[in-house]
Amino acid sequence: MADLKIGVLSCSGEECLGGTISRLATRKMLEELRPGQTVTLCLPLYLAGGEEERFFAKAFPVITVDGCSKCCAKRATEKYSGKVSDIVDVSEILGNDVALDKTVSTKDMTSQHMEMVDKVAKVICEKFDKIAENK
């Protein structure tokens, strides 16, 4: 179990707050919540990449983290690699008003924004642990 790795793949939404929160919550998984067990790729590399990147979702269970209901990360992963193990949609957790709000530069994030990141990261973590338990 300790050497199990799970992919967490965030959308690259630069246009709205949901995308920023997706990326920061994914980073939190990688650096703080499940370091060493979380693996990731940025979505543009995944889309532009070759065999090695496309192999990602075949090699690891993947949770996609999307900023809004368009679910770009999920759709791209399923198009190129196959079914994802679970999904997180920020708009379902924080509501459309927040997810589709105008983006905030990471340097201007407030403590309220960081609480939103924590809330999304907690949901990713729960899904992560559920997948790990069933492996």
When asked if residue 70 is in the footprint of ligand SF4 (CB under 6 A), the reply is: yes
Any idea which residue has 């642990």 for tokens?
Answer: 129
When asked if residue 94 is in the footprint of ligand SF4 (CB under 6 A), the reply is: no
When asked if residue 41 is in the footprint of ligand SF4 (CB under 6 A), the reply is: no
Rounded distance, CA 68 to CA 95, Å? 9
Answer for which of 41, 67, 88, 125 binds ligand SF4 (CB under 6 A) is: 67
What percent of the chain is helix, strand and coil (3-state, nearest 5)?
55, 15, 30
Please identify, among the stretches 1-9, 11-19, 49-57, 106-114, the one whose residues bind ligand SF4 according to the rule CB under 6 A: 11-19
State the nearest-atom distance from the C-beta of 53 to ligand SF4, in Å. Answer: 17
Cα separation of the two ends of the chain: 8
